[in-house]
Amino acid sequence: MELLYTQQTVLKKEYIKNKIDLFLKEDRAENDLSTTYTVNNKKQFIADLIAEESLVFVGKKIIDYIFRTSNINFYKKEGNLCQKGDIICQIEAPAHTILSNERVMLNLIQRLSGVASLTLKYMKQVKGSNILILDTRKTTPGLRTLEKYAISVGGGFNNRLDLFDGIMLKDNHLAVKNDIRTPLLKFKQQYPTKKVQLEIDFFQQLETIYTPNQKYIDAILLDNMDRTETIKCADYIKKINKRCFIESSGGINLKNIKNYIGTGIHGISIGALTHQATSKNIKLEIK
């Protein structure tokens, strides 16, 4: 089944530069009083970046940019699985460069490695099936592209990047607009390549809204449904349009996700990939 949206598999250099410069400015790294008054700015030191628990490493380009004037030796590649005690990379730089940039770098790679690691856990639960693990827009403001990239590194896939990426009609949209056919046809005329997705809460609602003359709907999200109702809805959708992307969401977690294997759906969107991910423990240790 074809993916609905562009995947965030690459971080562009200009994007990294703009983000990191903003974060370093927020931390006033250039005015680090602790470092300015205590260290020799000329002496070179070596620091190891060490995983303190099992994790999927994400953040090579972040490290590359922050320490772009330094010597960096990577022992782990982007997306590699690290175990406790593994050295991810070694940085050789003046002490002030290491100390003033340490916190911003660690905050970012700890967060992104946490997102990728949780994504991998979900991927392992559906291994062997054709179900895709998808993200949502429940991301940290300012970190959306980074977090969606981390999901890709962890083996997951990306839903909409933003509100202009496509149409997703949820229950609140349907509450204020009963007739969706006319506006959606107009939308498709203006944006023929953009996707239309409809959220459905129960089978009777699906029967009422999704009929054979509505093939302009590219995807349907089945929200908070159990296995039985999911199968019923998936079978109905496929009779109308075999190319319609069928997605499940709501209340699905690591404990019950296997219940949705074999239901006929193509993907499961998990908000927890970002809003419940825990930053991984990674330290920077000067030798």
Where are the domain boundaries for CATH 3.90.1170.20 in the chain? 13-116+279-286
d(CA 94, CA 106) in angstroms, rounded, equals: 18
Which pLDDT value is given to residue 181? 81
Burial class (CB in 10 A: 0-12, 13-18, 19+), 151: buried
pLDDT of 36:
82
Which of 56, 98, 94 shows the shortest CA–CA distance to 77?
Answer: 56
Closest C-alpha to 56, from 161, 152, 159: 152
- Give average pLDDT by consecutive 10-residue segment, the chain, 287 residues: 92 96 94 82 91 98 97 98 98 94 97 98 96 97 97 97 93 71 88 94 93 87 97 97 96 97 98 97 96
CA distance 231 to 103: 48
Q: At the topology level of CATH, where does 123-275 sit?
A: TIM Barrel (3.20.20)
pLDDT at 176 (0 to 100): 65
Please report the pLDDT score of residue 239 as a whole number: 95
Which of the following CATH numbers is that of domain 13-116+279-286: 3.90.1170.20, 3.40.1160.10, 3.30.460.10, 3.20.20.70? Answer: 3.90.1170.20
CB under 8 Å to 61, separation ≥6 — which residues? 11, 13, 16, 78
Ranges for all domains in the chain classified under CATH 3.20.20.70: 123-275
- Give pLDDT, residue 178: 65
| Predicted pLDDT of residue 152 | 98
Element (H, E) at 181: helix 181-190
